[in-house]
Amino acid sequence: MRIGIPDDGGPLVPATPTTTARLVGLGYDVSVATGAGAGAGFPDTAYEAAGAVVVPDGEAWSADVVAITRAPDVLAASGPAGLRPGARGPDGLRIGAVLIAQIAPAARPDLVRALANRGVTAFALDAVPRISRAQSLDVLSALSNVAGYRAVVEAAAEFGGMFSGQVTAAGTTPPANVFVIGAGVAGLAAIGAAGSLGAQVRAFDVRPEVAEQIESMGATVVRADDAAQQVSADGYASALTTDQEAAALRAYAVETAAADIVVTTALVRGTAPTTITAEMVANMRPGSVIVDLAAPGGGNCELTVPGERVVSANGVVVLGYTDLPDRMPRHTSELLGTAVANLVQLGTPNRDGRLALDPDDVVVRGMTVAARGEVLWPPPPVAVSAPASPVRPASAVEPAETAPGSRQARPTGAGSRQAHPATRAVLLGLGAVLAALAVAASPADQVAHLTVLALAVVVGFYVISHVSHALHTPLMSQTNAISGIILVGGMLQIGSSDPVVTTLAVLASAVASINIFGGFLVTHRMLGMFRRGAPTDGSGR
């Protein structure tokens, strides 16, 4: 089969020379339109070196599989006769072709219908199910990451000062104050970018479970308990109640008045709620900057004009750009190309150059918006693969109350579980008695050692149980040092004349050695995940 990469007129391209080489390695013939990668800095010669053939744009559109960044604008009147030329792409898409693109199927039903009428099998890169197995195809998260980073770059270009504080012979300058609303993918990227430039970053999100993520990025969490939602089941924020919205707006008013840079990212199912009112903008310092990442959904700021730069009456710059990922075409194209290559690889298990995506696969089904002349959007909801709760047979269910004079029903299910705490308490009490007898029977010089051991166990349990999961790896490194002390002590006692001491010393040395080498091995593997140049897309990059 032949994969075509047309020139859809924008700076992005859904295949880089690196991902093109992956597609060729899967057995496909790849045709790249002349100049398709020029906007992202990829010359035609780089594609030819990767094994592709550079062809005229119309020939790329006529391939068996066509990959573009965004689906072409198709008129609602387009029917079986074919796709009409629009703002993007010609009508060269052949009947029965496979289209891979960002389609926005929920907002463009006419386009989806036109694709179905044409007999095109269309896969929407922006409709990937939000499940772990589909993360390598999740274009929306990738583009949100780029947009969050670029938002800070745009703010830095507009802001009349430096993000980091400076100490000079002539005096000092304070760091910029950055306030980020929303700690999703874009928000966290903005937090990281602003923090790396030296700014003091504060962030707010109505979802309480993301507070730890904000702190892990080095930012300060802004708390407004009255605006907090319940822990979300799907990781997304929902619409606020009237009281929650009022509490959130009060927090926004305080934070924006003190901020130099404000980045807003709040979107609720594609709709942008108002988080920055005109009154808040009026209270901000002249020269402050607002970057509204929710501009495609209408904007979080009342002064936002999607796609435009606006300056308020008091000199606050409001950026409503909707093309932030396009402003970093090289890396955005690399992310798009990787997602396309991952999708094609998913449908080519035999590496034979034939695309055979399984329609029953939950990931494939979620992305398929049209196939076999039918509109397949929206997809069925993704079933959560969680083990079902065990259900007792009806015959085993006992009445809640027994008749007078009848024998008491034996405890089952929850009743048997209620006995566990009592059993645990008895065992703990028995263990304490045995420990006390052991101490009483020990020589006087051993009592102090046993006391230190008992206290170390108790203190160690409470310390480790209260350590954040993010600190488990450095904590493991500290336990390696402790194990090293045990190893040295055990080796010194191996030559003892007492066989019991020698046996214990050998066991202690063996266990400590396993912990040391195992701990360093795990730490090495985890640090390798963050090393620059580590493979991330399966292509060796």
Assess whether 138 carries a catalytic annotation.
yes
Point out the catalytic residue in the list 138, 205, 260, 292: 138
440 vs 435: CA distance, rounded Å: 9
What is the CA angle 229-186-99, rounded to 5? 110
260 vs 160: CA distance, rounded Å: 10
- The CA–CA distances, whole Å, from 435 to 43, 453, 456, 500 equal 76, 12, 15, 20
Assess whether 132 carries a catalytic annotation.
no
What is the CA angle 370-374-376, rounded to 5? 50
Assess whether 8 carries a catalytic annotation.
no
| Strand (E) or helix (H) holding 264 | strand 261-264
Point out the catalytic residue in the list 94, 130, 330, 365: 130
Q: In 14-163, where do the E strands start and end? A: 29-33, 53-55, 65-70, 98-102, 121-124
Contacts of 293 (CB under 8 A, 6+ apart): 147, 148, 151, 186, 190, 263, 264, 265, 324
Point out the catalytic residue in the list 110, 135, 478, 498: 135
Side chain identity at residue 364, one-letter code: V
101 vs 61: CA distance, rounded Å: 13
Q: Please tell me the number of Cα atoms within 13 Å of 268 on its side-chain side.
A: 12
Closest residue by Cα to residue 98 from 118, 81, 80: 118
Assess whether 395 carries a catalytic annotation.
no
- The CA–CA distances, whole Å, from 149 to 134, 258, 263 equal 23, 22, 11
Closest residue by Cα to residue 97 from 125, 120, 130, 129: 120
3-state SS, one letter per residue, for 235-253 = CCCCCCCHHHHHHHHHHHH
Assess whether 462 carries a catalytic annotation.
no
Point out the catalytic residue in the list 236, 243, 392, 442: 236
* C-beta separation of 320 from 290 below 8 A: no
- The CA–CA distances, whole Å, from 443 to 316, 447, 450, 503 equal 78, 7, 11, 21
Read off the DSSP letter of residue 240: P
288 vs 324: CA distance, rounded Å: 20
Question: Dihedrals φ, ψ of 147, to 5°?
Answer: -65, -40
Closest residue by Cα to residue 355 from 27, 32, 84, 93: 27
Q: Phi-psi category of 409—alpha, beta or left, where left has phi over 0 and alpha has psi -120 to 50?
A: beta
Point out the catalytic residue in the list 141, 216, 232, 244: 141
Which residues are the active-site residues?
A: 130, 135, 138, 141, 236
